[in-house]
Every structure is written in C-alpha cells, then in structure tokens.
C-alpha cells in the first residue's frame, strides 16, 4: 500500500508509492543481509574446467541385461497392496519350521520309544537278593551270564531240529562271569558247572554248583519257607564260595541263543578237529566255517571230546566272545536289518534281574568291544565222590588269587589263568 503522507516525494520512503515494489535500504550495489541468505555462494557460481556435455542418444551403448540381483537389507520391499506375497513367505517359513521340529521330535522320540518297548520285553526275576553275610559292592563290574537248557517257547519241531530233547524245567548248561575291572580288558571267567561247593539251598551241603539252579532241588529254611533252586540260590552259592559280589544277572535259553546267532548272520568258528555228536545234533568238519543257530547250539553243548565238560566250557567262552564281537561290530549296530532283529530276539528271550535294564545289557556288549580275555576258575582235581559223581575241585591258591583281584577291581593276574 502506498504511503499517502509521502505521495509524490522521492527518497527512502517515496519508492514505496509504486505498487508492488518492496525494498529494504542498504548500501548501493551491495546485497543486504536478507539477500545474503538466499544468494548462491561464489564457489557454486564458478565453473571448474570445461562444461560437461551429455552424449547424444546414438552414441550411448545398449544396456546389457543383468541377472537376478541378491536382495540386501537396504533393498526396498515390494508391496502388492493385498499382502499376498507376505502371506506366502510366512506360510513357507511355517512349513519349514514345522518340518524341522517334526524331524527333531522323531529323532528323539523314536529311539526312546523303541528303547522303552525293547526294555519292556525283557523277562525279569529276583536274582540278586540280599542275605546275611553277602559281600558288599566292590570296585569293577561283574555280570553272571547263565545259559539254561530251558525249552520254553520251543515247538516240538524246533526241539527236534535243535536236538534239545524234551526234558521239563530248566538246568544250567553254562555259567560264566564277565568281569570288567576298573582298568584293563574285561575277562570272561567260566565256572565249571560241576564245581563242588556249599549250596545256598537249605538242607543241602556241598554239591555241584549247577544243582543250586535246578528247580527240583528244594529245601526248607529256618522260617519254614520252601526254597528251591533258581537264579537267586545260584548267585548266592557263587558269592559265598568266591567272596565276589555279582552286580548284574543275565540268563538266556536255548531258543533265544539260536535266535541271536541267526540275527547276527552266524558266527565263524575254526575247530581243529571234526566233531560229531548225534545227541547235540552236531556234525561238522575241521576248519573255519560259519555256524548258524542250530549248529552253534550243538557246538557249545557237546561233550563228545576228550576232556568232556572242560573242553565244552572252553568252547563256550570262545563262542560267547566271538558272538559279542559280532553283535557289537559297527556293521551290525548301524545296520537296521540286523540290529533291530538282534534287539528284538535278545529282549524276547533274555531274563535279567529286577533292577537290570536294557542299558546294562548294552553296557555289557560295549565293555567287550575293545578285547576280552577268557579263562576259567583254576581246577585242582576232578575226583568222583559218593552221592555227587564226578566233580570239579577248585585250585585253592590260584582261585583265591583270582578272586582277590576281582574283589579289588584289579586285572586278574596271568598266574591265576586256567587254560
């Protein structure tokens, strides 16, 4: 708006009379403070070097197609307005997460479920009972391994094929103690079943140790209770005679033995002489050969050799060691077509103590993988006694040397070994 009071006059305020003009005073030819704020700096107004010219369209080389670019964190997200792409990605992530979790659950649950199922198949018996005077727990670990002649579960055809006979009940064909010292290799110690020792069955004095396992051998204790032979009296008889504490009990019948040998595909043995025994169903040549279940059973049962039972327990130790080596080999453990039938066959026929589990059997196998020595309780003599027949008397000095080492958890000395 024009200033009416200075209309027509010149000067500082007279220029305001012109419509649309607004100026601020200052030195002529120099910008005032307001203009300095918006005027470009001299450095921005200078041209450095020659002026750059853009090439013409015809001089520009054609662009090359570029491959898929990796998306970076700084790349912008694409939105389609409906969230379809985002939901698709979320579904893929959920499926991937579900798959991973499912696989992990199966890897954990399936082995655990199979272990529990296999463990439930084990037959259990009270074999390790406390009694007055029982040896306390000792260093090292001991397993009593018993092979019984029980025909339970076998059909008449199977008994004919295995030449087992048809005797009722069960007796022991094999008694072995697997001893695992605190340091050193495990040792399989055969216990001659004709060992002449005091029996734990009431009313019986000294007799063959296998009589303490026979169910037909019964007596009455001080409380008036009937006590018959079986796993518990057998373990007690051995513990009292040796002073060695037994930690675990394992028993297997004839049918179970055959199934286990067949499950591992047979065991190779190398007899030095041909062996024929119709009673055991055995007829083999000399030399190395693969023995399947029925042949293996006859091989460990026969007495048709010069030393009879002493030769038999030597073959039993040899075969048991070879069987365990075959069963614990990686080619068996990591082959489901052999390991699963082996576990099922073993757990269906093994009998263990009430406090024993499948992990104790696995521990027994693993303990023998590194190498196992074999021996027997040293024999002093084999007399024939009235009322007992031919028996085995232990060598008192050497057997005590063996038992002393076992009670201390130390390796059995070579001087105590029995061939």
CATH, residue 131: 3.40.630.190
Q: Name residues whose C-beta falls within 8 Å of residue 85's C-beta, 6 or more positions apart in sequence.
A: 78, 79
Residue 91 is predicted with a pLDDT of 72
Residue 330 is predicted with a pLDDT of 79
- The alpha carbon dihedral of 320, 322, 325, 327 has a sign of negative
Q: Name residues whose C-beta falls within 8 Å of residue 275's C-beta, 6 or more positions apart in sequence.
A: 282, 283, 284, 299, 302, 304, 305
pLDDT tens figures, 327-375: 877 787 777 777 777 777 777 778 889 988 888 888 887 777 767 888 9
> Does position 23 have pLDDT exceeding 60, yes or no?
no
**76 domain-assigned:** no
Residue 198 is predicted with a pLDDT of 93
Exposure string over 271-304, b if 16+ CB within 10 A, otherwise e: beeebebeebbbebeeeeeebebbbbbbbbbbeb
Residue 202 is predicted with a pLDDT of 86
**90 domain-assigned:** no
Q: What is the largest CA-CA distance in the chain?
A: 163
C-alpha 334/C-alpha 328 separation (Å) is 10
C-alpha 368/C-alpha 312 separation (Å) is 21
Contact between 416 and 399 (Cβ < 8 Å)? yes
Mean pLDDT computed over 195-206? 90
From 111-120, 298-307, 365-374, the region with the lowest mean pLDDT: 111-120
Contact between 375 and 150 (Cβ < 8 Å)? no
Token pair, residue 33, equals 């403070």
C-alpha 90/C-alpha 188 separation (Å) is 61
Specify the 3-state DSSP secondary structure of 263: helix
Token pair, residue 157, equals 């055809």
Average pLDDT, the chain: 77
DSSP of 67-135, one letter per residue? -PPPP-TTSPPP--SS-HHHHHHHHHHHHHHHHHHHHHHHHHHHHHHHHHHHHHTSEEE--S---TTPP
Name the domain count of the chain.
Answer: 1
**2 domain-assigned:** no
- Residue 254's domain comprises 123-261+307-416
**24 domain-assigned:** no
Q: C-alpha 226: how far from its chain's center?
A: 42
C-alpha 210/C-alpha 234 separation (Å) is 7
> Does position 310 have pLDDT exceeding 90, yes or no?
no
**391 domain-assigned:** yes
Contact between 144 and 248 (Cβ < 8 Å)? yes
pLDDT tens figures, 391-411: 999 999 999 999 999 999 999
**378 domain-assigned:** yes
**134 domain-assigned:** yes
C-alpha 60/C-alpha 191 separation (Å) is 99
**3 domain-assigned:** no
Contact between 349 and 263 (Cβ < 8 Å)? no
Residue 378 is predicted with a pLDDT of 94
From 34-43, 124-133, 355-364, the region with the lowest mean pLDDT: 34-43
């Amino acid at each position: 708006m024009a200033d009416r009071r200075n209309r027509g006059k010149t000067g500082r305020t007279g220029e305001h009379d012109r419509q649309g003009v607004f100026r601020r005073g200052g030195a002529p030819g120099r910008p005032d403070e307001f203009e300095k704020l918006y005027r470009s700096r001299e450095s921005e107004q200078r041209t450095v070097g020659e002026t750059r010219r853009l090439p013409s369209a015809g001089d520009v080389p054609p662009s090359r197609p570029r491959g898929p670019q990796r998306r970076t964190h700084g790349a912008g997200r694409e939105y389609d307005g409906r969230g379809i792409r985002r939901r698709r990605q979320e579904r893929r992530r959920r499926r991937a997460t579900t798959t991973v979790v499912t696989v992990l659950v199966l890897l954990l649950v399936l082995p655990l479920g199979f272990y529990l199922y296999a463990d439930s198949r084990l037959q259990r018996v009270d074999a390790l009972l406390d009694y007055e005077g029982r040896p306390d727990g000792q260093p090292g670990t001991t397993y009593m391994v018993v092979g019984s002649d029980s025909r339970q579960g076998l059909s008449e055809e199977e008994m004919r094929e295995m030449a087992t006979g048809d005797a009722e009940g069960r007796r022991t064909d094999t008694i072995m103690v697997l001893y695992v010292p605190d340091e050193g290799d495990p040792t399989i110690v055969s216990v001659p079943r004709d060992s002449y020792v005091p029996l734990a069955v009431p009313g019986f004095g000294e007799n063959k140790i296998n009589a303490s396992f026979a169910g037909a051998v019964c007596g009455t204790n001080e409380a008036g209770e009937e006590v018959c032979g079986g796993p518990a009296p057998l373990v007690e008889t051995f513990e009292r005679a040796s002073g060695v504490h037994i930690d675990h009990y394992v028993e297997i019948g004839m049918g179970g033995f055959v199934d286990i040998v067949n499950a591992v595909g047979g065991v190779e043995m190398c007899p030095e002489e041909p062996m024929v025994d119709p009673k055991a169903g055995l007829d083999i040549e000399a030399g190395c050969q693969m023995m399947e279940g029925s042949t293996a059973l006859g091989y460990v049962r026969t007495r048709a050799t010069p030393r009879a039972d002493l030769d038999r327990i030597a073959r039993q130790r040899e075969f048991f060691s070879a069987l365990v080596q075959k069963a614990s080999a990686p080619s068996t453990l990591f082959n489901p077509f052999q390991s699963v039938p082996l576990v099922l066959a073993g757990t269906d026929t093994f009998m263990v103590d009430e406090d024993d589990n499948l992990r104790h059997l696995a521990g027994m196998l693993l303990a023998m993988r590194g190498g196992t020595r074999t021996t027997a309780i040293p024999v002093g003599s084999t007399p024939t006694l009235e009322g007992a027949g031919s028996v085995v008397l232990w060598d008192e000095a050497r057997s005590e040397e063996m038992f002393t080492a076992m009670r201390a958890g130390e390796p059995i000395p070579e001087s105590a070994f029995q061939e």
